[in-house]
Structure 1
């Protein structure tokens, strides 16, 4: 058996289905970032632990959770509210944690958009570290999301989890990615100044994770990134075979990439009002001069 952490913020539309998919575990912990909707009320109606902690960033929230909320079991799984655990994945997780050779496992997502599995243009199988031994993994921030730091060897599971990436509607998706694009713009500027392309990992990386991360580092330095991303996703990856949902998905990702570029230009050329968008409940605003020159 393993414990399951569920991260939430204003997830009243998803939290019940998420918890119910995870109830094969006897230890579920909902870590809520002070939701203003009925998320906590709904979660509290299930036999789970509910803990609230103010959101700082994705990496810090996960690290705080692991350090301050002891799980019942040695192994833990991290689940987002718009994701679903499956019985097949749960069974494979239980088998995997019997292997003493690894301290963590990557699991691939199946993105569900417009009631369609977007198999091709999402780079499936695209893996995230989800199952791991408690105390052996922690997280750091990277753009709008996080990256794991592992103290030991890791491997990959065959079963997948469902990710309903637009389950709360297109308006919520656009609002969320507007915030994400600010963090991605900041991370892009940081990587352009301090990062480098890991060419060996790009061509000979041992895993999909290493190759994908090296590809992202390369993409940050390419011209016409939004157009190249659309061509890569829609034609090279085969998004054109994902039907109407695939076209919509590729178009939204192209828009998101263009928004990141616009915010990079804005940060470098204009004194702008800098909102702390990492936390929806932070209200502090400051004005910063970003300097000139591109």
Structure 2
């Protein structure tokens, strides 16, 4: 058996269905980032554990979860609130953990959007590391998301999981990706200044994950990125085969790329706000007072 950890923040619309899909495991833990809606209330109705930790970043949240939240089993599956565990995937995971050859397994998502599976324009299969051996995998930050660091070999699962990426409405999707674009802009600028394209992995990478990451590094350097991304997804990948949902998805992704470009421009050209010397002096005075008070108290 393996434990299932569910990451949440304001997921009252999705959390019940997600938990119910995860109850195939005898150890389900909701790791909440202090939601302000009814997420914790709803999760607490189930016979599972609910813990809370202040969100810092995606990578740090996952690493904290793996290091600090006790698990009943040595293997853990990480589930997002808008994703679902399926019986077929669960059974394959049970078979996978019987071997000690690998420390982690990637699973491919099926993006569900506007009531349809967006198979073509989402670069299916897109893999995420979901099943991992405790103590052998942790996470670092990359843009608005995270990247895994594995102490050992990894493999791929055949079964997929559904990802209801806009289950809370398009307004929520746009608001979320507006926030994401800020982190992506900072990572993009860092990559442009310090990083490079790994051409070997782009053409000869051993896995889809390596090739996709090298392709992302290349895409950061392309002119007219939003237009290129739309044409690539809609025509080259076959997004037109996904119908109206596919066209909408490709348009939103191009818009997201444009937001990132705008925020990169801001980082490079917009002046930083002036430093208020008087405010800094005031803070220094307060620090001196606090230090004096502490000293006298002791």
Q: TM-score range by the shorter chain?
A: over 0.9
**Unpaired segments of 5 or more residues in structure 1?**
274-294
Deviation of 1:194 after TM superposition, in Å, equals 1.0
CA deviation vs aligned residue, 1:211-248 (integer Å, no higher than 9, x gap): 00000000001100000000100000000000000000
Return the TM-score normalized by structure 2: 0.91
- Structure 2 partner of 1:154: 154
Runs of 4+ in 1 over 2 A off after TM superposition: none
**Unpaired segments of 5 or more residues in structure 2?**
274-298
CA deviation vs aligned residue, 1:100-141 (integer Å, no higher than 9, x gap): 211110000000000000000000000000001000000000
Q: How does 1:1-294 map to 2 (within 5 A)?
A: 1-271=1-271
Tell me the distance in 1 between the aligned counterparts of 2:67 and 2:118. Answer: 35
- Structure 2 partner of 1:288: none
CA deviation vs aligned residue, 1:244-271 (integer Å, no higher than 9, x gap): 0000000000000000000111111113
CA deviation vs aligned residue, 1:170-206 (integer Å, no higher than 9, x gap): 1110110000000000000011111111000000000
Q: Which has the higher strand share?
A: 1
Return the TM-score normalized by structure 1: 0.92
- Structure 2 partner of 1:285: none
* Contact 1:266 1:272 (C-alpha < 8 Å) held by counterparts: no
Higher Rg of the two aligned structures: 2
Deviation of 1:272 after TM superposition, in Å, equals 5.8
CA RMSD between the two structures: 0.7
Tell me, what secondary structure is at the counterpart of 1:25?
Answer: coil
Q: Which has the higher helix share?
A: 2
